[in-house]
Amino acid sequence: MLEKHNEEMTLQDILDLSYMGKVLNETLRMYPVVPNLKRKSTKTYNIPDTNLTIEKDQCIRISVLGIHYDEKIYPRPEVFDPERFSPENVEARHECSYLPFGLGLEQCIAKNFAQVVSRVCLVKLLSQFRVEPSKNTPRQIEYDPTRTVLYPKGSLPIHFVKREAFY
């Protein structure tokens, strides 16, 4: 894309990077910044087939990680598969099955900005560097339970290897 456009990027060029969008969506499925959403119920609701009732104005915690790793929604959820976000796969899922930015009136106001900026940063970064694990990069990430956002325990060492020429 950079070679084709003489290293200039328009918003449309960025949005046309459909596979990069799939990769970013799958990354946010596996590693959402906010692993839990907090909401307040607007009415009393009896959960079908249970004896549970959510009372009006009750605080509710929604486990984004729990939804994103539900095998009924995402088979083999521990496997990184960007094709989960092909148009036909997205269409087949309930809109509440992917919540890295929340949903509805309380959806992150910066969602569109974050998606565009992430793509721009990745294009610039990956056109100049390869990103590789180091010998100290953990294969399984442990999260810091004291943080509000999903954050690794300790450090997450990686190597940036300068590219001689990307294209």
Q: Judge residue 74's burial from the number of C-beta atoms within 10 Å of its C-beta, 0-12 exposed, 13-18 middle, 19 or more buried.
A: buried
Question: In whole angstroms, what is the distance from residue 11 CA to residue 28 CA?
Answer: 21
The domain ranges of the chain are 11-162
C-beta neighbour count of 73 within 10 angstroms: 16
pLDDT at site 78: 96
Q: Is the pLDDT of residue 142 over 60?
A: yes
pLDDT band at 154 (very low <50, low <70, confident <90, very high): confident
Read off the pLDDT of each residue in 151-158 and give the average, rounded to a whole number: 90
Q: Where do the H-state alpha helices sit in the chain?
A: 11-15, 18-30, 64-68, 87-92, 111-128
Q: Is the pLDDT of residue 166 over 60?
A: no
Tokens describing residue 28? 């946010």
pLDDT at site 133: 93
pLDDT band at 155 (very low <50, low <70, confident <90, very high): confident
What separation in angstroms does the CA of 62 have from each of 30, 68, 94, 114? 16, 11, 15, 22
Read off the pLDDT of each residue in 131-145 and give the average, rounded to a whole number: 90
pLDDT at site 36: 92
Question: In whole angstroms, what is the distance from residue 67 CA to residue 34 CA?
Answer: 13
**Homologous superfamily of domain range 11-162:** Cytochrome P450 (1.10.630.10)
Q: Is the pLDDT of residue 139 over 90?
A: no
pLDDT at site 165: 67
Q: What is the DSSP letter of 59?
A: E
Q: What is the pLDDT of residues 80-107, one digit of tens each?
A: 999 999 999 999 999 999 999 999 888 9
Contacts of 101 by beta carbon, 8 Å cutoff, 6+ apart: 107, 108, 111, 114
pLDDT band at 167 (very low <50, low <70, confident <90, very high): low
Q: What is the pLDDT of residues 6-63, one digit of tens each?
A: 777 888 888 888 999 999 999 999 999 999 999 999 999 999 999 999 999 999 999 9
